[in-house]
Structure 1
Amino acid sequence: MPTHPRPPFDPEAEAALTALAEPMPAVTPGAIPVLRQAALPVVSDETLLAAGVTRRDVTVPGHHGAELVASVIARSGHTGTGPGIYHIHGGGMIAGERMIGVSQILPWIVEHDAVAVTVDYRLAPEFPDPCPVEDCYAGLVWTAEHAAELGIDPGRLIIAGASAGGGLAAGTALLARDRKGPALIGQVLICPMLDDRDRTVSSTQYEDAGTWVRESNRTGWAALLGDRWGTDEVSVYAAPARASDLEGLPPAFIDCGSAEVFRDEDVAYANALWNSGVQAELHVWPGGYHGFDMLAPDSAIARAAIAARNGWVARTLDAPSPGTSGR
C-alpha cells in the first residue's frame, strides 16, 4: 500500500499527549505483560462514591461454563427499574479489566438512573477467539435474564464499549441478533476495533504516531486470532467489519478520531450499517488520536465528542418506543 501523509493531531489534544511522562511504545507480543501492568484509566470506588454511585461485584457464567467477575454499578439507593447499560472494556483484546472506561458511561448512570453491568471477559492470547466475544455474549444473556433483580428495564438495554470493547460490543450485538438473544435498543461503539485485515489507509498513516499504533493493533489481532489472522477463516463476531449483512441490528453511535488507526474501518462500518437499513450516527473528530477524549478531556474536541455521545445516549434511553427493525 502506498504511503499517505497523515492528518495532524489537534494541537490542544496533542499537548496532553506530549505531556505524558513517557511516550507510549508500540505493543509487541513480548510486551503484553508490560501493557497489563501499565496504569490504565480504571475508575475507583472513590470516584463512583463522589458521583453518588455504588458498585457491587457478582460472578456470571462465561463461555463453556467459565466463571467471570462483573460489576453492577448504579446510583445509590436505586429502586424500581431504569435503563440498562452492558459495558465491555477496552485493551486491544490483550489487556484491561472491567472498570476501564467506566468514566465514559458514568454520566449515563447518574443522569438517567441507569444500571450498568461491566464484565471481565478473558483475554488473548491465553484465551483466543472465540472466548472474548462469547464471554461477552454470555454476560449479556445473564444481564437480560437477571434484569428484574438488577433494576433494569429489559426493553431499555444498550451495549457500549471503547476500542477492543467497541469491537466486542459490535460482535456481541451480532451474536444477539443471530441467536435471537437479548434485545438491544442501541450500541455505542467508541473508536471500535473492528477489522483484522490491516488494509486501510489509516492503518498505514499511524505506524508510529499516537497511542494505539499499527504494530500494537497487529499484536492484538494476532493474539486473538493466531494463524487465522487475516485469512478467510475469521468470524464476523471476532471482526465485525467482515460482516456483509448488518440488517436488524440496533441503532449505533460510532465515533473516532481522524488521526487514528481505526478511522477508516469505523467509517466503513457506519456506511455498512446504513447500507443494511440500520440507523447510525457517525462522528470523526478532526485531529483526534485514539483515546483523545480520555487523555485530553478538557480539550475542545474532547468536550464536543463527549457531549455528542452523551446526547445520543440520552435520546436513545429516553425514546418513547424503543426497538429495532425486524429482519
Structure 2
Amino acid sequence: MFKIDVPNSEQDFADYFHFRWKMLREPWKAPIGSEKDEYEQVSQHRMIRNPDGEVIAVGRVHMNSAEEAQVRHIAVAKKYQGKGLAKMLLASLESVARSEGAVRMVTNSTELSIPFFKSTGFEIDSANSNELGEQHRQQMVKKLSDPNAITLHPKWCKLLQKTWRDTIPISEQMGIKLHQYTGRTLETKASLNKNINLHGTMFAGSIFSLATLTGWGMIFLQLKEKGLAGEIVLGDGNIHYHKPITMQPKAVCNLESLKGKFDPLSKNKKCSFNLSVAILDGDNPVAEFSGVFWVLPEKVE
C-alpha cells in the first residue's frame, strides 16, 4: 500500500530533489542543482516512499495564472513503474490545481510520456510545442471542471469574474475566483500560494479582500436577479479571525445574511445592505466578516 506524502522537512526536500535529479537530470548528464527552477517556492510538491522510507515517485504543480496549472517533474523509480503510482501522483496534483481555482492543466510531455498523459485525460495542444535539450516536448492540456459545483446564471457569473479582473486587477493576482453560485449561496476561492506570508499562512489583508469581494459579488448577482443596476461600494467592514488559513482559502456568503431593500434603487435612490461572509480553510471555519455595502444609482448623462 502506497500513500501520497507532502515534503515538509529539510530532509524530505533533500530526498525529494535528489530523486528528481537522479531520474530526470542525471540521464542527460546534467549537474546536481539543475533539477530545480525558479518555481519551486510557489509550487506544491508530492512524493511517495516505499516501506523502507526511500523516495520512489515525485511530482509537482504550480499555477501559471489564475486559471492555468502546470504539472512538471513526475517521475517513478523503474522498479515501481506499472503500479499506478504516476496516476496517484497526478490525481493528487490535479486536486491541488482544482483547489487553487484552475480550470485547465498543462504539461510539456516527452514523446515517451504522451500515452500516459492521454490516458489521464490530457490532449495534445498542437499550437504549442518546443524543444528542451535533446528531448522534443509536446504541450498537452486537460480541462478541469468540478462536478459538484453549481453555477446558476453562468453569464452573470462570468461577468462578475470579468468585472473583478477589470476593475480590481489585484484580484486576479490573488487568484480569487467565483467557485459556485446557487442563487442563494455564493462561494469563492483564492490561491494560498499567491497570498502566503512568512509563516506559511494567508495574509490577513488577503482574507479581508476575499471576504469583501464575496459580499460585493453577492450584491452584484442579486442586482442582476432583480433587473437593477448600480454602483456597489463598501461602507464598513469588520472581520474576526480565529485560526490561520494554511491550505484552501474559501469564502461563503448566504442570501439569508443579506439585510436591506432594493426598492429605493428603482426610484433612483441609494440603498444600503448588511451581510456576513464565512471564511473557511477547506471545510473548517476560521473567520467571519460583516460588512455594510451601499448601492448608488447609476449616473444618467
Give the TM-score, by structure 2 length: 0.27
Higher relative CO (Cα under 8 Å, sequence separation at least 6) belongs to: 1
Larger Rg: 2
Give the TM-score, by structure 1 length: 0.26
Name the structure where strand makes up a greater proportion of residues.
Answer: 2
Name the structure where helix makes up a greater proportion of residues.
Answer: 1
